[in-house]
Amino acid sequence: MNIRIEKDTMGQVEVPADKYWGAQTQRSKENFKIGDGIMPVEIIRAFAILKKAAAQTNVELGVLPGEKSELIAQVCDEILEGKLDDHFPLVVWQTGSGTQSNMNVNEVIANRAHVITGGKLGEGEKFIHPNDDVNKSQSSNDTFPTAMHIAAYKMISDVTVPGIKKLSQALHKKEKEFINIVKTGRTHLMDATPLTLGQEFSAYVAQLNQCLKTLKCPLDHLSELALGGTAVGTGINTPKGYDVLVAKKIADLTGFPFVTASNKFEALSAHDAIVGVSCCLKKMAVGLMKISNDIRMLASGPRTGIGEIILPANEPGSSIMPGKVNPTQNEALCMVCAQVIGNDIAISVGGMHGQYQLNVYKPVMIYNLLQSARLLGDACVSFTDNCVVGIEPHLANIQMNLNNSLMLVTALNTHIGYENSAKIAKKAHSEGTTLKEAALASGLVTEEQFDEWVDPSKMIGSL
């Protein structure tokens, strides 16, 4: 491998000749050979946004020459276009402040700018310095949390929320299609009074819509940016007005309502916004797990299960049992939910470790949050397209189960009392007869009364 020599304050380092990163990136690459979890590209893109905004702000405030600002912005645009993805090799498992990833971006921008201006990697003095120019008015301690917020806000807005909305809309469509299909209810996994299949699906829609509502508060918190706090939150080495202006520029570049954090000490030392968003994603996962399991149990069978709905047959379900079809989309969604719930634990532990003026679990927190946000959004789209839209009711099984339900006896409570109704239900169950046969045999009701009072369509409330 061809190499070149780069240097930092600790001395010289050998770096691959064709890579734009520098000495500090190489040291991190060599010192943290832990796993294969590369820093998410969303964080790198977020860094490009904030570095561009910082350069533009610095030139407006008179602390950076315009030519340097334009060069930095040009390289940032290349990063945003994905042209330099191969130059960001660092793993998540590095310093807890994310310093090395911040320097990775600084070094790539400086070296790429050097090449753009006619220089050769490893030769000559750079026009753009990674610390003095690219990192001007910044610290890793405020850039990394800013990148966290930008990346998380964008992922949730672009992937998670649209995925949840798509699933909610598909379930709402099924709710309307199924609203008049009366079926037996189930509580404690046992027979209960009737409802409609549409009413059952309405609960799923409500769950998802509530999840979307709960995202608002943590998203508002996530819109606050740490940039301008620099090392400990005091804003040392920043020009006056920098924090407000740079947040505005980031908002303009992204189209999201970012503002400067009201308290930079909190923004650096605590990541409650990340914890709060993760908590909402966990809530979504819990709800989706319930919805997914309900649907696959309702479809169980096809001959020996509940079998009240039919799921699309997407692929063979067994390598040994011919004709078997499984609820694979449900299983995939449930596994995603399990991962999201696990990620939330890691994020919660990370949030607990903000000691004094800095939280040093930043990389693992954002790594897990971005994974959760993407997985939920993608899984909801897959579940919608490959399962929900194709769900059909199995009317014969629904009617059979409804007719066999002993809990229709509940309709008799107000006419013959709870205890007499219970006697009828127990008689039917023990003797293996229908509820109607047991009721007539008891002498407590006539056939005419039974047919009038025990009508499932009258037991579902107002639609």
How many structural domains comprise the chain?
Answer: 3
Distance CA 360, CA 62 (A): 33
Instruction: Determine, yes or no, domain membership for 230.
Output: no
**Cα–Cα distance for residue pair 312/30, rounded to 1 Å:** 49
Residue found by looking up tokens 């903000």 in the block: 354
Do 66 and 14 fall within a single domain?
yes
Q: What is the rounded CA–CA span in Å between residue 9 and residue 117?
A: 25
Domain that holds residue 110: 3-136
Answer yes or no: do 318 and 173 share one domain.
yes
Contact 145, 228 (CB under 8 A): no
Does any domain span residue 363?
Answer: yes
Check whether residue 200 and residue 316 sit in a common domain: yes
326 and 299 fall within a common domain: yes
Based on the domain organization, do 94 and 214 belong to the same domain?
Answer: no
Query: Choosing from 188, 262, 430, 457, which is the catalytic residue?
Result: 188
CB atoms within 10 A of CB 358: 21
Residues 25 and 53 in one domain: yes
Burial of 174 (0-12, 13-18, 19+ CB in 10 A): buried
CATH number for the domain spanning 446: value is 1.10.40.30
- Measured N-to-C along each axis, helices 435-442 and 418-431 cross at an angle, to the nearest 10 degrees, of 120
CA trace torsion 246, 249, 251, 255 (10° rounding): -160
| CATH number, residue 377 | 1.20.200.10
Q: At what angle do helices 41-60 and 99-116 cross, to 10 degrees?
A: 70
Q: Using H for helix, E for strand and C for coil, what is the string for 247-292?
A: HHHHHHHHCCCCEECCCHHHHHHCCHHHHHHHHHHHHHHHHHHHHH
**pTM beyond cutoff 0.85:** yes
- Cis link prior to 312 (omega < 30° from 0)? no
The one-letter code for the residue type at 96 is G
Shared domain check, 412 and 347 = no
For the purposes of burial, counting CB atoms within 10 Å of the CB of 377, is it exposed (0-12), middle (13-18) or buried (19 or more)? Answer: buried
Q: CA gyration radius for the chain? A: 30
What was the pLDDT predicted at 463? 60
Going residue by residue through the chain (463 aa), what tens digit of pLDDT does each one get? 799 999 999 999 999 999 999 999 999 999 999 999 999 999 999 999 999 999 999 999 999 999 999 999 999 999 999 999 999 999 999 999 999 999 999 999 999 999 999 999 989 999 999 999 999 999 999 999 999 999 999 999 999 999 999 999 999 999 999 999 999 999 999 999 999 999 999 999 999 999 999 999 999 999 999 999 999 999 999 999 999 999 999 999 999 999 999 999 999 999 999 999 999 999 999 999 999 999 999 999 999 999 999 999 999 999 999 999 999 999 999 999 999 999 999 999 999 999 999 999 999 999 999 999 999 999 999 999 999 999 999 999 999 999 999 999 999 999 999 999 999 999 999 999 999 999 999 999 999 999 999 999 999 986 6
Q: Are residues 101 and 171 in the same domain?
A: no
Cα–Cα distance between 89 and 374 in angstroms, integer?
A: 21
3-state helix, strand, coil in the chain (%, to 5): 60, 10, 30
Q: Tokens 């660092």 appear where?
A: 90
Looking at 106, 136, 166, the residue that finishes a domain is 136
Which residue among 69, 172, 318, 348 is the active-site one?
A: 318
**Domain stops at, among 136, 167, 201:** 136
Q: By the 8 A CB rule, do 59 and 69 touch?
A: yes
Residue 243 belongs to a domain? no
Is residue 57 situated within a structural domain?
yes
- Please give the angle made by the CA atoms of 162, 165 and 168, to the nearest 5 degrees: 155
Identify whether 164 is part of a domain: yes
Q: Is residue 432 part of a domain?
A: yes
What integer pLDDT is reported at residue 1 of this predicted model?
76
Residues sharing a CB contact under 8 Å with residue 452, sequence separation 6 or more, in sequence order: none
Judgement on whether residues 341 and 417 belong to the same structural domain of the protein: no
Residue type at 258? F
Whether 188 is a known active-site residue: answer yes
Q: Are residues 389 and 413 in the same domain?
A: no
Q: Which residues sit opposite 91 in a β-bridge?
A: 38
State the greatest distance between any 2 C-alpha atoms of the chain, in Å, as a whole number. 104
For position 82, which CATH number holds?
1.10.275.10
H or E element at residue 409: none
Helix (H, G, I), strand (E, B) or coil at 16: strand
Instruction: Assess whether 33 and 172 both reside in one domain.
Output: no
Non-local CB neighbours of 141 within 8 Å, separated by 6+ positions: 97, 226, 229, 230, 231, 232, 268, 357, 358
Residue where a domain terminates, one of 111, 136, 161: 136
Name the E strands within 72-168.
none
Residue 12 pairs in a beta bridge with 7
Residue 241: inside a domain, yes or no? Answer: no
In a domain, 253, yes or no: no
Separation in Å, CA 356 to CA 55, 129, 233, 267, 276: 29, 31, 11, 12, 20
Are 318 and 431 within one domain? Answer: no
SS3 182: strand
Query: Locate tokens 């030139």: which residue?
Result: 59
